[in-house]
Structures are given as C-alpha cells and as structure tokens.
Structure 1
Amino acid sequence: MKRSGFVCAALLVIAAGVTGCAENPTTPSVTPSTSWKNAPADAASTVITTAETAAVATQAAVDPSFLKFDKMSAKLTPEHEQQLMSLLPQLKEAKAITLRGYCYKKDIGNAKSAALARAASAERFLVKQGISKKKFIRRFNTEDAEHAVRIEISK
C-alpha cells in the first residue's frame, strides 16, 4: 500500500506540474505545503482507493482479457465477471483457452498456488457459462509483479 501511495502521489505531482507548465510556462512551479508524510491517513487512503478503482476500470476498458486481483484474493468480482462475459462469444468459438494466473512471489508465500487458484476461479465461472472444460489450459507466472489472470485465446 505504501508503494501505491507513493506512486499515486508522484503521478499527482507530475500531473499538476505538467498542467501548470501547459498553462503558463514562465511561472515557477509551486510545491505543495503539506508533505505526504504529514497528510491525514484517511485522505491518502481515499486517493489510493479512487486511483486503484480508476486503474481497474481503465484496464478493463483497454484489455478485457486481463483480470486484476487484489494481492490476497483469488475470488472473482462482479467486474471480473463482466469482463469475462464480454469475451464469451470469442471464448465459445476458441479451440483452446489458456488461463495464466499471476502472483508475485515476493508478495505471497505460496505464489504458485495463488496464481493457479485465480486461473481456476476464472475457469469455474466460464464452465458455468457453457464453455467446455476440455478447452482450458492453466498456467502460472510468479516472476512478474502482477496479481491477475490473463486469458489467451487460440483459434
């Protein structure tokens, strides 16, 4: 969470600086009077929550075949189910579907099991939607700093 807060803070500062430069390039940049270390905890968590929610929504719009999970979760959310439903016509026509679960090994003790559990959650949902279980191949990735499932469709 601390890393996410830092990234959000850095992005906000950069965005504010870029906006300021675009409006008036000769005006010196203004530094915030409150440092992030002294900011109220609830304000910082609100920014993080809003930023994380926006990031998930943006990711779903850009790539519906990539389902991002919370670090400690393998449970599908309603947003994940919507993403999977949007892919359903392509998945029904696919010859093979690879579900690659991601779990970063430096974040979770048994990352391989967590990654495969995420892939299994997506598979169970898709089987309930009428896709043959024989089409699925489960893989895992514990090297990338992701907590997600990537759906790869083979035609």
Structure 2
Amino acid sequence: MKRSGFVCAALLVIAAGVTGCAENPTAQSTVPATTSWKNAPAVATSTATKAAETAAAAAAQVAVDPSFLKFDKMSAKLTAEHELQIMSQLPKLKEAKVITLRGYCYKKDIGNAKSAALARAINVEKFLIKQGISKKKMNRRFNIEDAEHAVRIEIGN
C-alpha cells in the first residue's frame, strides 16, 4: 500500500469520528476536555503504523523467494517492495562473481515481450549499480515463453 493510501485511510477514520459527533450531539468524547492537542492520542498515526506493519508482513509473505521479483503485466518499474527484496540479498550479491538478471514477459500478454523483459532486467541492474555492485559481473537474459512478468536474480560463483 502506498503512503497516499495510508493518508486517505487516516482521513476517513478522522472524518467518520467527526461525522459521528455531529449526528449524535449527546455522544461523549473519549478524550477529556482538559487534554491539549499536544497530549491528544495519535489515532491517525497509530492507524497508519498498523497499516504499514500489515503491508510489511504481507510483503514478507509474498517475498518467499527474494530472488524472484514479480512485476505488473504492463510495468517495468521497480517498486519499494522490489527494492526491499533486492536489499535483502545485497550481501550475497556483492560477494557473487556472476549475476544473471533474467527478465520475464509472456509473449501472449505483451506485443514486444522481449523489450519489456529486458527493460525489467535493466531497471534491476541500474538499482544494483547504485548499491555498489559492478556492472562487469552482471549479465541480462530474457524469457518470453513462461507465463510470468518478473525478474529472477541468479547468483553464480
């Protein structure tokens, strides 16, 4: 979930609380009247924090194989989840002698599947270079036969 989703969820929670007070004027506030804004409970922050923890747990479950980065069918852009998956492997990648980045794009889903598969592999390569991994030890491959939209990071020694 993106950060804007957290903000929207927090605003909805706050709006629901305000609307509830307006519809029921006799409802009592759970915050004492003497509480200042400085000491008020952080409802939106805790809601956003819980949502972030839930998203992180979901990402951890999805990333059972951190070397396999799944992409949306029409995308070659790295997401924050992809970057986390790559960062979890960074020590192994820095020690590797050869890294193969195999881009996947199913030819029955996309017109120019080869270009899309290689674009995904190139974006992963660019991110790895920013992390200090030499371009000399990386090579790119593509697969347009399997029904996948992904990049597999293969470590060879």
TM interval, shorter chain, is 0.5 to 0.7
Number of the residue aligned with 1:121: 123
1:59 matches 2:66: no
Number of the residue aligned with 2:102: 100
Number of the residue aligned with 1:111: 113
Superposition TM-score, scaled by structure 2 size? 0.62
- Determine the C-alpha separation between the residues in 2 that align with 1:57 and 1:108: 28
**Cα displacement string for residues 103-147 of structure 1 (whole angstroms, at most 9, x for unaligned residues):** 000000000000000000000000000000001110000000000
**C-alpha root-mean-square deviation of aligned residues, in Å?**
1.4
Superposition TM-score, scaled by structure 1 size? 0.63
Greater Cα radius of gyration, structure 1 or 2: 2
**Cα displacement string for residues 61-81 of structure 1 (whole angstroms, at most 9, x for unaligned residues):** x10000000000000000000
Q: Secondary structure at the match of 1:89?
A: helix
Aligned pairs for 1:6-155 (under 5 A) are 57-60=60-63, 62-155=64-157
What percentage of aligned pairs have identical amino acids? 81
Q: Secondary structure at the match of 1:91?
A: helix
Number of the residue aligned with 2:41: none
The letter of the residue matching 1:89 is P
Question: Structure 1 segments of 4 or more deviating over 6 A?
Answer: none
Q: Unpaired runs of 5+ in structure 2?
A: 1-57
Q: Unpaired runs of 5+ in structure 1?
A: 1-53
Q: Alpha carbons of 1:146 and 1:57: their partners in 2 closer, same or farther (altered >3 Å)? A: farther
Q: Secondary structure at the match of 1:105?
A: coil
The letter of the residue matching 1:129 is Q
The letter of the residue matching 1:151 is I
Number of the residue aligned with 2:15: none
Task: Say how many residue pairs are matched.
Answer: 101
- Determine the C-alpha separation between the residues in 1 that align with 2:156 and 2:60: 26
The letter of the residue matching 1:59 is V
